[in-house]
Amino acid sequence: MASKQPKTTYENNPFFIATNGITLLFDLARGVAAVMIIFSVLSFFISGPDRTDDTNYDGERFMSTVSGWTPEQWALAIATVAIIGLAFIMISALFAGVSAYASAQIAKGKAVPLGEAFRTAFDHLWSFVWLQVIIFIKVLLWTLLFIIPGIYFSIRYSLAGVAFYDTSKNLRGNAAIKESLKLTKNGWITTFGSNMIFNLLTLGVLGSLVSTGVNAILYQQFEKVGDKKPEAHWLSWLSLFLPAIVIIFILIFVVALGIGLTLGGEINP
């Protein structure tokens, strides 16, 4: 598979950043792209809305069941949950590592065989899990201050995994996070918009695929331009405020509907 360098000119249109990233992903890492599509679709359906009709009934049944458990049963249940949770964390980190490694290689214009991506991600799995733990704790602490700082810093930390797998830097833990902060300085809106615009168009179904390509383009661009980045494209600003606008319109509609039903009930008792 031939190498294909990302465009050297700075692209600030989030739509083109996403499409260029996805194109490069299929050109240089077709196997990884296929895996990311499968992983994205599975994640979407697993995290989709659950059935809520019998929530109260299921909760009462669960409480009545566990109230009679012996200490041995509790220990077994806790151990089982811990094992399943650890397995979930490791599998998620493995796929995230494959994505980050592919982004780092694509940013350098290198082809990424699927086997190589999984082998490298597996070899560095524990270090990468530790990076994810640090990011999770930092974002959680920022979120506890207020939700907006948590969202902001989750965007600023988004290139930490790519920096982790950049062999020219060999960064780990907080060093990779600091590199992401440096790269995204004055470019967090473009980072957000580039990841968000396709997620809005696809309802988040292809999140892993999009982020892999987007992070490759952004990492390559941000390294070249440093802190002085062009102004964010208007589409990035739109993707930033569009969810809030939609929520506001939904709230206005619900309130108006409630007022209309109330007035209608008063007029026609």
**Section 145-152 average pLDDT:** 84
Asked if residue 39 is part of any domain, the answer here is yes
Per-residue pLDDT of 189-223, as tens digits, reads 999 999 888 877 777 778 888 999 999 999 999 98
pTM (predicted TM-score): 0.81
Q: What percent of the chain has pLDDT over 70?
A: 84
Residue type (1 letter), 108: K
Asked if residue 223 is part of any domain, the answer here is yes
Asked if residue 143 is part of any domain, the answer here is yes
- Which of 85, 83, 106, 166 lies closest to 131, judged by CA? 166
Per-residue pLDDT of 1-46, as tens digits, reads 455 555 557 888 999 999 999 999 999 999 999 988 888 777 777 6
Measured distance CA(47)–CA(59) in Å, rounded? 20
Asked if residue 53 is part of any domain, the answer here is no
With beta carbons less than 8 A apart as the criterion, state whether 14 and 235 touch.
yes
Asked if residue 192 is part of any domain, the answer here is yes
The band of 59, judged by pLDDT with boundaries at 50, 70 and 90, is low
With beta carbons less than 8 A apart as the criterion, state whether 101 and 112 touch.
yes
Residue type (1 letter), 109: G
The band of 117, judged by pLDDT with boundaries at 50, 70 and 90, is very high
Burial of 62 (0-12, 13-18, 19+ CB in 10 A): exposed
How many domains does one find in the chain?
1
Q: Which range, 56-65, 154-163, 191-200, is most confident? A: 154-163
Structural domain of 143: 14-46+71-267
With beta carbons less than 8 A apart as the criterion, state whether 187 and 215 touch.
no
Asked if residue 129 is part of any domain, the answer here is yes
- Which of 7, 12, 10 lies closest to 235, judged by CA? 12
Asked if residue 119 is part of any domain, the answer here is yes
Q: Estimate to the nearest angstrom the gap between the alpha carbon of 174 and the chain centroid.
A: 19
Asked if residue 118 is part of any domain, the answer here is yes
